[in-house]
Structure 1
Amino acid sequence: MWGHAAQQDYAELVSTTLELSQAEVLIRARRYLVRIAGLLDTIDLEAVCGSGLSPGLFGRLFGGGRIDTAGKLEAARVELEQLVRLTNVTLEPLLALKASFDEQSRRLDAAWQDIEAAGLAAAFLSEHLVNDRPELSRRLLERSMSLAQTALQIRNSASLRDSQAEQPLSLVAAIQNVVLVTLPGWLVAIAALNVASPASRQPTPTQATELQFQLRTILQQLKA
């Protein structure tokens, strides 16, 4: 059948692209980043350091989700350091996944050119044979219409393909710029406070406020 092999190749490419968009490393990296953001979002350093306002009765009853004690902060810091290591492991697979998306996009563009060329050729032959071979002309016209529809689908999917290729790239940016650069420095500063030790010197309100400001900046970068 005219152009059928090209359409089959296109169907296989679409199936492979769908599998790439559901890659395990994407799910894993997103889960790590969501957990990191969730932990950071509940940290109240001013409360931990004793420089915030008292939570009052409502806060004591319904503030159980907050990280507002030295013990909770230390536990969160340890988990965040583990998450940094786990997220770092996803970096290379994410970059490889981005390369795979790019290769799929290149092959889909090539398939579009082949299918469009086959459709135009079928339309030309259909018109050329309309009088001498009307039945063959009709079949070629049907193939031409089918191929044109497939070519249109490929062209209309370009923005979706770009969006899919951006998924690993956006995760890589968050990991490289925030998780592996900004966050570790903040965690070091938190560890240096050593607020979990009874004998430690309590940080000043200015120190607590500055670290809380840095925390908000990290969260904004993660959620951007």
Structure 2
Amino acid sequence: MGPVRTVPPGGRVVVLPDVRGLHPYYRDLTVRFAEAGFDTVAIDYFGRTADTDDRGDDFDWQPHVHTVVPGDVAADVAAALAHLDAEGSLGPAFTVGFCFGASQSWRLSASDLDLAGVIGFYGQPQRVNDVIDDMRIPLLLLIAGDDAATPPEESAAFTARLEAAGVPYEAWTYDGAPHSFFDRAFAEWADACADAWRRILDFTSSRSAPVG
């Protein structure tokens, strides 16, 4: 008899961090997804250029983030999925990104990766607009209503373009919430964070199906 292949209850998740890279927050978030029933991997954008794997608060990410290109992110996600597959994990796969990582997650809607959905918190539409016409994988947009990095009108224009292109998506705006409300401001925005987490679980659950 061959090895038993398991389908995790929630599916599989690849976490795409913000510009800080694999900060300890994202290591903890990976555990949270695992506890919710997902086989989960978080990627490190800066493994190609940084001399250390320490991404704590003292890590200077700025020289590295500008070297990250979408093709490398897609390759890293593909490697993460291959790792999960090698470990015997099956089921629908999702990316979940934050800020810079959200934009990269949404871009993967236009990729040929076997993803059931791409999720992003407070992403930047200007990093995504060039691939809208090629998007096919459903998106979940979790938008900060008072985002200094992405004004509401930019988010509205982005969803209008998705609508016009026939891209499947869901968008939820948290009025008054600042950029990074889910991670750096979670204590002040507990209700919004709880709702966003529920939206993720609903989005992934609705796209999960048993693997025969």
Find the structure with the greater CA-based Rg. 1
TM-score, normalization: structure 1? Answer: 0.23
Q: Which has the higher strand share?
A: 2
Q: Which has the higher helix share?
A: 1
Higher relative contact order (CA 8 A, sep 6+): 1
